[in-house]
A and B are shown apart, each in its own frame.
Chain A
Amino acid sequence: MIVSVASGKGGTGKTLVATNLAMSLDFPCQLLDCDVEEPNAHLFLKPQIKKEEKVFKLVPKADVSKCQLCGKCQEVCVYNAIAVVGKKHLVFPQLCHGCGACSYFCPHGAIVEEKQEIGVVTTGESLHVDVISGRMKIGEAMAPPVIRRVKEHIRPDMVAIIDAPPGTSCPVIESIKGSDFVILVTEPTPFGLNDFVLSVEVLRKLNIPFGAIINRSDLGNQETEDFCQKNGIEILMKIPFQKEIAEVYSRGDFIVEALPSFRQAFKELWEKIQPKVAV
């Protein structure tokens, strides 16, 4: 069973919810950090690392002894990752999607493929939580292949909690697709609401059941709650702004451990979600 924690924008408390939910469960579970541009769940869970695997993509290169500089490969590459100019054949690996068209269409069999590292997936353990995090190499633009590798670790016999990247772009979709339920974390501010509405649209299109958590619920306005009510979105939990939360969080600790009332609140959260996704 897969539950994703997502958010229309960064900094809403997505990781706070994902890590505390994992910690609050009283059975073994998995936490998958799919925010591969800025993974940070491990900073809280501090897992003991068991394994590190590199993620590669294949990047084409022209074999200069065979390449006739005919330009066919540049013509068929819809991602503009190749330029044949002057007497040179250039490949821009960061734009390459690895589709293989250039090699297929090269009339001289001149395209060879080279492995290039795009990221790393680490697996580890923190008490009852298996922690799997993906990290994309700096400057690399293709997050989905790294995210897919993280998700290959999902075990069907366990509860898997996915910490999705913020926003509504490709990497977000790649992370949350296949989920049984999504928890959308938001803040009751005008910007927060704007991004929240976009996320809601995406989830409705993907047809994944979801509910909302309003973080710093006492700092903004009423509009987010009104929107949820009008659109039949269940508010699963409200987290008020409390100095204690900020303190515990900034120390890298769990609010479900430091603040007993939250242990109870997260237990109730799980009780609300579980029947919706029971298989």
Chain B
Amino acid sequence: MKVCVTAQGDNLQALVDPRFGRAKYFLAVDVDSLDFEVIENVNAQGTGGVGIQSGRLMADKGVECVLTGNIGPNASDTLKAAGIKFCLGATGTVLEAVEKYKKGEMTLSEGSNVDSKSGA
């Protein structure tokens, strides 16, 4: 199972980036082996629609679940259409977020928790 965590750095010890659309990196982590792929978010500096772009990127990478801090309505619509689940309110390091997810301590969210234009 592959989850994707928004990160401020390019390794498992990096802190979770609270924003989805404008996250610096995405770390696609295999929850069992902890193998991971670093995806740099080339859209982070875009002017509009970044949440949609990041959502599309998740779909392209075959991600099943996203762990992040906040998510906006456009990104949430895109992920839902792609059938990708997401958990909000992730904090600490990427590894901590993945561990919490594995223990079932993160709840799946139904929709966005911030408005558009927030970079999330």
Cross-chain contact B59 with A79 (CB below 8 angstroms): no
**Which residues 73-124 of A have a CB within 8 angstroms of B?**
74, 79-81, 83, 85-86, 88, 90, 92, 94-95
Find out whether the CB atom of B82 lies under 8 angstroms from the CB atom of A80: no
Taking CB atoms, residues of chain B closer than 8 Å to A95 are 48-49, 52, 74
Q: Chain B interface mostly helix, strand, loop or mixed? A: helix
With A85-B56, A85-B78, A90-B77 given, can you name 6 additional A-B contacts, CB distance below 8 Å?
A: A80-B49, A80-B53, A83-B55, A85-B55, A86-B59, A88-B82
CA distance A83 to B74 in the complex (A): 10
CA distance A79 to B50 in the complex (A): 10
Whether B46 contacts A80 by the Cβ 8 Å rule is yes
In the bound complex, residues from chain B placing their C-beta under 8 Å from that of A80 are 46, 48-50, 52-53
Write the chain A residue with the least CB distance to B82. A85
Asked if A92 meets B74 with Cβ closer than 8 Å, knowing A79-B49, A80-B53, the reply is yes
B residues whose Cβ falls under 8 Å from a Cβ of A: 46, 48-50, 52-53, 55-56, 59, 74, 77-78, 81-83, 116
Interface size class of A (residues with CB under 8 A): 10 to 19
| In contact, B46 and A86 (Cβ under 8 angstroms) | no
A-B pairs, 8 with minimum CB distance:
A80-B49, A85-B82, A88-B81, A85-B59, A86-B82, A83-B78, A83-B52, A95-B49
